[in-house]
Structure 1
């Protein structure tokens, strides 16, 4: 069973290495954002530690030393988001940084509590540990790393303090929070892998012509632009040949379309083998039309290399139609740019080069086919051809800018909505997949929450040493408030007829759970009993952001919940 679970978070090689590279690239942004947040927080705490921490006098020297020590993990996090030369160690650096932070915070927490001041809440080292979940660390590494960190936190708490029932309850809540938080981490990576694999397949279909195995027209244009930019940077030449199979319509009409497909497949395979250099490539840009691009090809070699390619097609020995000669042949038109102009956008050079090569191709056809014609308009024509101004893309130049500057908020909000919505039918397909992923994440979290409720009810008195009067209030909150709401939301992820309401049921369950938890805090805290640590409602509230609820529902629900929790607490 465990191997089946791991199969969802691991591909076979070399696919796994490709995904890891993509996953690591995606995690860079999350790590950079979190690094900035932690840097700002650290700077504020160091600058105003007297007001924030209120450390006892005998702990102040230790506190300053530890705060200074936090600079080390900050540097490690910075190195992990900078890419090279530490790109291959980015994940390990981030994990080590989190561990150092946790150790420093635990040392400070122990020193302060022993001095009679609880100024470093348990939630802070736990939050640092949970930060590892949001920076996209591979699940097979994340689980042992988080469990080791959790074991360290729990061990320090148990060994350093003689915990009361409140302390044990707080520790149990922290453990439950960390363990339950791992479930959506697994689900998120699983769905990320599924999405990446599908996107990879779509990219292959979009970039590779299925019949010939060469680049498609779209991929050709993108790669040709990249080659032109490389020519600008390096000052080296770019050569383009467009070749067309001679009498292909007659061939298709005589032998049939399957034979025509076979002919194109053979020519495509030949071009793929013949174009060997890394920066050279071939593409199928039309029915029987191909393009070949050479980078840094000397002008004297252009006719020889291009003619060799045409001769190679004739030597394939493909049987031609009756009036087509002794073999299937092709004609080619070539344009050679000795240097690429720096003036204007490079992208605008694609069209004139295609035009010159196409003109040369038609001359080759007119001269009898099975030959190459090199355009005499290459570099000079491209260099002297007037480049359109940027206004040509806008149609009305400055008027467009003024119009954009005068747009109202309504149009801005409309564009924001468009950024979160596709056109039909893609929007419906996306929502179906998004909701399915969300139900899976919610199912895991709700199941874990029910398990936590059951464990608390069982161990509250014998293990957590909760007094009976407090136990009955807590049990009533769990049984009457949390459990029914959790079960109803869970049913929304299991019963097909409730799927359309699944997200709404989850938001409703969160509202009920928060109400029950804050109600118990209001009752228990004045009596000196912290049976519902503040970490619990906050963790329930934050779960809204990791269970794939549409932003239009999630954002207001999260804001309303936060206002409610903070309002009651104040």
Structure 2
């Protein structure tokens, strides 16, 4: 079938379907991680909870919050699930988990049992950021989920400075990456459009706008492999085209080929046909599923339409005509590549006979050329197209350009995140002492950490993401600057501050650590940095901060 340029809206719809479908593998991975985490939580409940709420022991309730959301997520990952349903089902499953965790957390708190830390439902809701959900759907989904979480928390859990800070940190975890999510979708769409258009260019003849030889070879093998049989083939060749070029010039020859290409495309456009320009003045038409006699009649009509165009041929009072060779294959081939070569060689031989018998006619081959014919092997050995392929270095020009664009695209997110950290630190330093009535020693310690460690680190990262000369090292500098920010937060948690008023909650360094995943830092740098910083947070939390109920559960979502 002739491929026509897609409209912008149709192309956008195709991309969005591919974008959502590309997230199925990630959805499947997240589904497995969530299922294993929930199963481990329920199996290890005697260890994780000193006084677990009775609901956690209830088999009916456990099957509800373990099985139902997992089953919905599995359906969202299935290849046959339409993209809109895939997205909707996954969001619904996450909402069920978040509501369930918040209900257990509320009941546990009210009953004096071990609580589920708020980091658990936050981590589940944050999974929406990584499963290829379209931005226009992701934003309201995150807003509704965060609002539900915050409302349940505010209505059922006693409000403290720590809980307010936790909600604020949760908001940062959710909404700071949204800009990166939009950027990721936009860059993915641009790459998808480029790849689609490059593929179209590589398989389209520039003069006639028909598919080229590369596309023909692919489509013929596909038809012989998957398409309905029989498969018929007609090769058309413009008669005495050299005479036309010599008499009227190459520009006239190009106009003639373009007109013939349009005529053939208009004559055979349909779901079971494929038309291409082979090379020079040769065209080809493929029919899948049509009977040989019907396909032959169509081929002769297409050939006759060339003469009816009345195009000048360079010969007195004689229009341009075409000759055609026709062949058909009705039995399933064992080797589609060889069958394609046999079918093409047979049609080509029939075309030669049509030329020999006087031109302006169609000759149909009675039998296929045997596999042993030298022309078959010659066609199998022929290069796919005339473009030479050069071996590039392992990191080619296009790869370097992509990595450069990837690095540049994270600069804005890095500046925003570090500026946000600096503003939050300044606000806490100014408001917290009076609001929480902190001791003077605690205020002094916090201001030293803020002023000499965290704020300078944020400023250096902002400068590195802004100053052009430092941009090649901006990602490394950002990671290096995140380390003292997290170190300062953990220092305050381990000092007298959390004992007096817990203004630095466990969720705050977690939020800063997770920000590394949304600022376009290459994996080879991001992964070891996150592992090292994660281990550092755990070590300090376990050794220097007094343990509280739910500590182990709070650690569990971070690696996922």
TM-score above 0.5, yes or no: yes
Deviation at 1:160, TM superposition (A): 1.6
Give 3-state SS (helix, strand or coil) of 1:376's partner.
coil
Which residue number corresponds to residue 354 of structure 1? Answer: 344
Residue 323 of structure 2: which of 308, 331, 339 is its match? Answer: 331
Would you say 1:249 and 2:242 are equivalent positions? yes
Distance 1:474 1:242 in 2: 82
Residue 500 of structure 1: which of 460, 472, 480 is its match? Answer: 472
Residue 28 of structure 1: which of 15, 24, 29 is its match? Answer: 24
Which residue number corresponds to residue 363 of structure 2? Answer: 373
- Output the TM-score relative to the length of structure 1: 0.84
Give 3-state SS (helix, strand or coil) of 1:79's partner.
helix
Give 3-state SS (helix, strand or coil) of 2:314's partner.
coil
Distance 2:246 2:54 in 1: 95
Per-residue CA distance 1:382-405 (angstroms, 9 max, x = gap): 6999x99xxx9xxxxxxxxxxxxx
- Root-mean-square deviation (CA, aligned residues, Å) is 3.0
Which residue number corresponds to residue 274 of structure 1? Answer: 267
Q: Is the 8 A contact 1:184 1:444 kept in 2?
A: no
1:363-512 correspondence runs (5 A): 363-378=353-368, 381=370, 423-461=395-433, 469-512=441-484
Distance 2:521 2:49 in 1: 37
Instruction: Summarize the Cα distance change of 1:30–1:444 in structure 2 as closer, same or farther, 3 Å threshold.
Output: farther
Q: Is the 8 A contact 1:520 1:532 kept in 2?
A: yes
Distance 2:106 2:43 in 1: 22
Instruction: Summarize the Cα distance change of 1:425–1:567 in structure 2 as closer, same or farther, 3 Å threshold.
Output: same
Deviation at 1:237, TM superposition (A): 0.5
Which residue number corresponds to residue 151 of structure 1? Answer: 147
Would you say 1:109 and 2:81 are equivalent positions? no
Which residue number corresponds to residue 312 of structure 1? Answer: 305
Which residue number corresponds to residue 52 of structure 1? Answer: 48
Distance 1:61 1:71 in 2: 15
Q: Is the 8 A contact 1:524 1:531 kept in 2?
A: no
Distance 1:423 1:539 in 2: 34
Instruction: Summarize the Cα distance change of 1:60–1:494 in structure 2 as closer, same or farther, 3 Å threshold.
Output: closer
Distance 2:249 2:539 in 1: 77
Q: Is the 8 A contact 2:94 2:124 kept in 1?
A: yes
1:36-47 correspondence runs (5 A): 36-47=32-43
Deviation at 1:78, TM superposition (A): 1.5
- Output the TM-score relative to the length of structure 2: 0.85
Which residue number corresponds to residue 183 of structure 2? Answer: 187
Q: Is the 8 A contact 2:170 2:511 kept in 1?
A: no
Distance 1:429 1:28 in 2: 28
Would you say 1:97 and 2:122 are equivalent positions? no
Deviation at 1:337, TM superposition (A): 0.2
Per-residue CA distance 1:424-463 (angstroms, 9 max, x = gap): 3222222222222232443343344344434444543566
Give 3-state SS (helix, strand or coil) of 2:315's partner.
coil
Give 3-state SS (helix, strand or coil) of 1:131's partner.
helix
Would you say 1:81 and 2:77 are equivalent positions? yes
Per-residue CA distance 1:484-536 (angstroms, 9 max, x = gap): 22222222222222221111111211222222222222224773654332223
Which residue number corresponds to residue 402 of structure 1? Answer: none
Unmatched runs of 5 consecutive residues or more in structure 2: 1-6, 382-390, 543-560
Distance 1:167 1:430 in 2: 42
Distance 1:334 1:451 in 2: 76
Deviation at 1:336, TM superposition (A): 0.6
Distance 1:370 1:126 in 2: 74
Residue 547 of structure 1: which of 509, 519, 522 is its match? Answer: 519
Which residue number corresponds to residue 405 of structure 1? Answer: none
Give 3-state SS (helix, strand or coil) of 1:242's partner.
strand
Deviation at 1:350, TM superposition (A): 2.2
Which residue number corresponds to residue 559 of structure 1? Answer: 531
Per-residue CA distance 1:108-146 (angstroms, 9 max, x = gap): 001112222343111011111111111121112211221
Instruction: Summarize the Cα distance change of 1:86–1:14 in structure 2 as closer, same or farther, 3 Å threshold.
Output: closer
1:207-222 correspondence runs (5 A): 207-222=203-218
Instruction: Summarize the Cα distance change of 1:281–1:514 in structure 2 as closer, same or farther, 3 Å threshold.
Output: same
Distance 1:463 1:270 in 2: 81
Per-residue CA distance 1:140-169 (angstroms, 9 max, x = gap): 221122112112222222222222222322
1 or 2 for the larger relative contact order (CA 8 Å, sep ≥6)?
2
Which residue number corresponds to residue 406 of structure 1? Answer: none
Deviation at 1:466, TM superposition (A): 5.9
Instruction: Summarize the Cα distance change of 1:336–1:93 in structure 2 as closer, same or farther, 3 Å threshold.
Output: same
Distance 2:480 2:181 in 1: 23
1:9-24 correspondence runs (5 A): 13-24=9-20
Deviation at 1:37, TM superposition (A): 1.4
Per-residue CA distance 1:81-104 (angstroms, 9 max, x = gap): 114355442211111111111110
Instruction: Summarize the Cα distance change of 1:247–1:512 in structure 2 as closer, same or farther, 3 Å threshold.
Output: farther
1:166-245 correspondence runs (5 A): 166-231=162-227, 234=228, 236-245=229-238
Deviation at 1:290, TM superposition (A): 1.6
Per-residue CA distance 1:194-216 (angstroms, 9 max, x = gap): 22222232232223323222112
Instruction: Summarize the Cα distance change of 1:437–1:256 in structure 2 as closer, same or farther, 3 Å threshold.
Output: farther
Distance 2:435 2:90 in 1: 36
